[in-house]
Amino acid sequence: MNPRPLQAGDDRAIEELFAATVALGRPLTFDCPGFDAYRDLCLGWYLGPGRDDAVVLEASGRIVGYALACVDAHAHRTWVRGEVTPWVLRTTRAIVSGRLPREAERFYRLRLRDGWAGLVGPPPPCGPHLHLNVESGSRGGAAGRLLIEAAEERFRLAGVRQWYGEINAPVGRRAVALERYGGRIVTRRPSLTFSWLAGRPVEALRVTRAVPAAPQSQPRRRNARYSSPAAEAMPASTNGYPNLQPSSGKVSKFIP
């Protein structure tokens, strides 16, 4: 497996991987009108203004994972301010109008409730963050390690010392592995959407991690390639959760 910077022809593969794993590693099993707009809200900044800090993981010539790092929280917040409100208004109108199929209506309604819970909850510990995802067949192995290491090189080059992300996991899972890898769980809250989709309690874990010092052998170049393996695994997938920031200035995961 080979981590490398995002290239111009990679966007479609990332969008397809997002859709294939949006429900805890699986695709949605029902028709969901408007899903492309939701996907674009989740990925748009990282594939647009923030794409220079995005990394993909290739295996056998295809993309099996991605790490979308945000090193400029202010620029991300500015982008979000122009995108979130129109999406919320359109989605709310669709829900109220009764135009959506029953399961799609419930999906968006729970997305809005989870998003609100994220906004009014405790603020994240820092601005820089990471949206990481790996296809189902590659989870639990080296893929996550390689992507996190590649993303952390972007953070080091930008002078970032700490980042955060959110991981959706069944209650009681992943905490030990996260802490073993150097992650620290700072908040946890029920995930209404993914608990419904999974048929069991799922919680959103907000995790922060200090960026390790760069190995002395690695050149500190903006266009550096990524190849060194990390020592341990950190299960990491945001499962379709966008890292979005509200206009108040606190960095948060607005989860539509």
**Tokens read off for 79:** 């982008």
Asked if residue 127 lies in contact with residue 158, where contact means CB atoms within 8 angstroms, the answer is: no
pLDDT in tens, 201-223: 999 999 999 999 865 334 444 44
The topology (CATH level 3) of 2-210 is Aminopeptidase (3.40.630)
Pick the more confident residue, 229 or 44. 44
Residue positions counted in the chain: 256
Beta-carbon contacts of 156 under 8 Å, excluding residues fewer than 6 positions away, are: 211, 213, 214, 220
Nearest-5° Cα angle at 199, 245 to 63: 55
**Segments of the chain assigned E as strands:** 2-5, 54-59, 62-70, 129-134, 162-170, 183-190, 202-210
Task: Give the side-chain half-sphere CA count within 13 A for 135.
Answer: 16
Return all residues near 19 (Cβ < 8 A) that are at least 6 apart. 27, 28, 35, 39
Q: What is the pLDDT of residue 140?
A: 67
Residue 193 pLDDT > 90: yes
The predicted structure's pLDDT at residue 230: 33
Place of tokens 């748009």: 44
The pLDDT value recorded for residue 171 is 84
Largest CA distance in the chain: 59
Task: Report d(CA 191, CA 37) in Å as an integer.
Answer: 21
The whole-number pLDDT of residue 176 equals 64
Label residue 194 exposed, middle or buried (CB < 10 Å: 0-12, 13-18, 19+): buried
148 against 242, higher pLDDT: 148
Give tens-digit pLDDT for 133-192.
999 877 767 888 899 999 999 999 999 999 999 988 888 766 666 766 778 899 999 999
CA distance linking residue 214 with residue 243, whole number of Å: 25
Whole-number pLDDT of residue 233: 32
pLDDT at residue number 139: 74
pLDDT band at 253 (very low <50, low <70, confident <90, very high): very low
The angle, 0 to 180 degrees and rounded to 10, between the axes of the packed helices 35-47 and 73-97 is 180
Q: What global pTM score does this model have? A: 0.82
Contact 224, 155 (CB under 8 A): no
* Phi-psi region at 240: left, alpha or beta (left = phi > 0; alpha = psi -120 to 50): left
Give the whole-angstrom CA distance, residue 134 versus residue 152. 17
Mean pLDDT of 97-103: 96
Structure-model confidence comparison of residues 172 and 99, the more confident one: 99
Q: Above 80 in pLDDT, residue 239?
A: no
From the list 27, 23, 18, 20, the residue with the least C-alpha distance to 46 is 18
Is a pLDDT exceeding 60 seen at residue 242?
no
pLDDT above 60 (res 63): yes
Contact 34, 94 (CB under 8 A): yes
Point out the least confidently predicted range of 57-61, 196-200, 248-252: 248-252
d(CA 160, CA 162) in angstroms, rounded, equals 6
pLDDT of residue 196: 97
Beta-bridge partners for 210: 162
- Residue 251: the pLDDT is 30
Domain residue spans of the chain: 2-210
Beta strands in 60-151 (DSSP E): 62-70, 129-134
Mean pLDDT of the chain: 83
Give residue 224's pLDDT.
Answer: 40
Confidence of residue 116 (pLDDT cuts 50, 70, 90): very high
